[in-house]
Amino acid sequence: SLVKLVYVTAGEVVGEQALPHFNVFLAPFIKGLKEEEILEGVRGFLTMVNGIQAESGPGVLSIGLDLSIPKSLAEEEAYGMGGEALGSYAEFTDESLTLASAVMEAFLEHYKGKPGINVIPIVNLQKENLNGEDGLLYKAHELAAETSLPLFADQSKSRGDLVYMASGVRFNCDWTGDWELDTLRVGVLGRVDLNLPRLYYDSREEGRRFEVLLDERVEMAIRALEIKYRAINQRGEEGVIPFLFHTWSGDRYFHLRNSIRVLSIVGLNEVIAAILDRELKYGAEEAHLAERILKQTVKRIEENAGVYNARVRLSAYPHPEAAERLARLDVERYGWSKVKVQGDKEHPIYTDSGLIPFSSDIPLKTRLRFEGLIQKYTGGGHLAVIQLEDVQHEPEDLLSATITAIKDFNLNLFTYNLESTYCLACGNKSYGSPFKCPKCGSADTLIYYSRLFDRYLPLKYWTEVRAYHRRFYKKYKLESEIKG
């Protein structure tokens, strides 16, 4: 069963697993079932996989939900129980939408009150879903307003064959040209973080030398990732990861060669501040410099990856420790007066999610414009997080913001973060970080939640530095920011 598959693979992967096109692939299996039967099955599935993810480690499970049948899947053969061919997936449109609705309903029930942390829905939006009249799209934003769980992925410029994971990892149909080989049964073989500020300081702040060092680091990183690929392949052949390497009809389950290798940028904001030697205003000059650095990095990646015929992509999604560790090391090496970081001497950190720190007090539209720029060049992954004011937000406002983010600012993947507090004493959920429960007055029974990377996580699991910076997040009221 699907639950067993998740359980078995959890022992052979580090971090996240993903079930893309969840409601489309399972649509043939629910044909003829009543809505309550479908909902009950989804409830049981969520309960079991949530437990598996909690038991197996820090990773999450992301579930891809399509609000319409992707063009890449519409005419593909649909299979049901026992592998029986049942026609095309386009013939199961009604079932796929019913299942998507049931999944959202089950999420709302499962995480009513206490936030959930291990299973994340990713809502895929195609062009026909963006007219604001899609009932499922509204329901997805009800879920976002209530739980802050779902991510929204723009598929309007593709055939619906983009696959995202909750961490921001992106698989596009851009390697073999076959959507199945490029996006299914693949993973991230490895990741190297590029410390951009360190390159600038090592270059003695000379532009041409910075470009040379960037080229060298990219080449070195890709060589290291190739070594890791060969090591994984060898261990797989030795039987160390038997499930991922098992073959069926001559085809290995895990497409190792098609999996991506990621180079992720750290400190783009800080290197631009160092180059310009002034406080950033996030205008045309900052955008031009960011684009120049990103273009050069992508170009060098493509040149060096070709040597190994490797699928290497630039990304801009965070690592739990890298931004803190690299910032602290640079301060120790070059001194506080020279190094540009976020935070004070006790809590230095580099920006590692996009360009603009969450603490920057700028209009939301400016932030979205720069997020769109970053996502344009980071084909290996990205995730924009829109921080919300600590009040109840209407689904209509979130829906309007989603359409604006996609149509006006070209965001590919984003989510909303509404911080909340759960009281263990009375079960009440409130917004923000109150010192006492607004319902029962308890103070020592509160658990504070906020989004950290790919999940909605209690603050007690955050690092000290991340928790410190969270206090200064710029939060937005969507009604005034989007419509104003």
Q: Is the pLDDT of residue 58 over 60?
A: no
State the average pLDDT for the chain: 93
The pLDDT value recorded for residue 116 is 66
| H or E, element range at 402 | helix 395-407
Backbone angles phi, psi at 462, to 5 degrees: -80, 155
User: How far is Cα 222 from Cα 217, in angstroms, rounded to an integer?
Assistant: 9
Q: Which residues of 146-175 are buried (b: 16+ CB within 10 A; e: fewer)?
A: bbbbbbbbbbeebebbbbbbbbbbbbbbeb
For the stretch 399-416, pLDDT in tens is 999 999 999 999 999 999
Average pLDDT over residues 149-165: 93
Asked whether the beta carbons of 326 and 193 are under 8 A apart, the reply is yes
CA count, 13 A, side-chain hemisphere, 391: 9
Asked whether the beta carbons of 69 and 96 are under 8 A apart, the reply is yes
User: How far is Cα 371 from Cα 409, in angstroms, rounded to an integer?
Assistant: 8
User: How far is Cα 382 from Cα 294, in angstroms, rounded to an integer?
Assistant: 13
Q: Is the pLDDT of residue 54 over 60?
A: no
Average pLDDT over residues 348-360: 95
Sign of CA dihedral 105, 450, 316, 186: negative
Asked whether the beta carbons of 123 and 139 are under 8 A apart, the reply is no
Average pLDDT over residues 116-137: 86
For the stretch 458-474, pLDDT in tens is 999 899 999 999 999 99
The pLDDT value recorded for residue 113 is 66
Q: How confident is the model at residue 319 (pLDDT cuts 50, 70, 90)?
A: confident
For the stretch 210-260, pLDDT in tens is 999 999 999 999 999 999 999 999 999 999 999 999 998 888 999 999 999
The pLDDT value recorded for residue 332 is 96
Nearest one of 384, 480, 393 to 154, comparing CA atoms: 384
Q: How confident is the model at residue 457 (pLDDT cuts 50, 70, 90)?
A: confident
The pLDDT value recorded for residue 121 is 96
Q: Pick the residue with more confidence: 420 or 160?
A: 420
**Two structure tokens written together for 78:** 């649909």
Sequence ranges of the domains in the chain: 2-168, 181-376
Q: Is the pLDDT of residue 375 over 70?
A: yes
**Two structure tokens written together for 130:** 């963006």
DSSP labels, 172-233: -S-SSS-HHHHHSS--EEEEEEEEHHHHHHHTTT-HHHHHHHHHHHHHHHHHHHHHHHHHHH
CA count, 13 A, side-chain hemisphere, 376: 17
Average pLDDT over residues 43-67: 80
Sign of CA dihedral 50, 55, 58, 59: negative
The pLDDT value recorded for residue 115 is 72
Percent of the chain whose pLDDT exceeds 70? 97
With a CB cutoff of 8 Å and minimum separation 6, the contacts of 281 are: none
pTM, 2 dp: 0.95
Q: How confident is the model at residue 453 (pLDDT cuts 50, 70, 90)?
A: confident
| H or E, element range at 170 | strand 170-171
For the stretch 6-20, pLDDT in tens is 888 888 888 889 999
In the beta sheet, which residues pair with residue 193?
Answer: 264
Q: Do the strands 260-266 and 312-316 form a parallel or antiparallel pair, or are they unpaired?
A: parallel
Q: Is the pLDDT of residue 390 over 70?
A: yes
Q: How confident is the model at residue 483 (pLDDT cuts 50, 70, 90)?
A: low
Average pLDDT over residues 292-307: 97
The pLDDT value recorded for residue 455 is 83
**Coil/strand/helix, residue 291:** helix
The pLDDT value recorded for residue 128 is 87
Q: Given its phi and psi angles, is residue 267 left (phi above 0), alpha (psi -120 to 50 degrees) or beta?
A: left
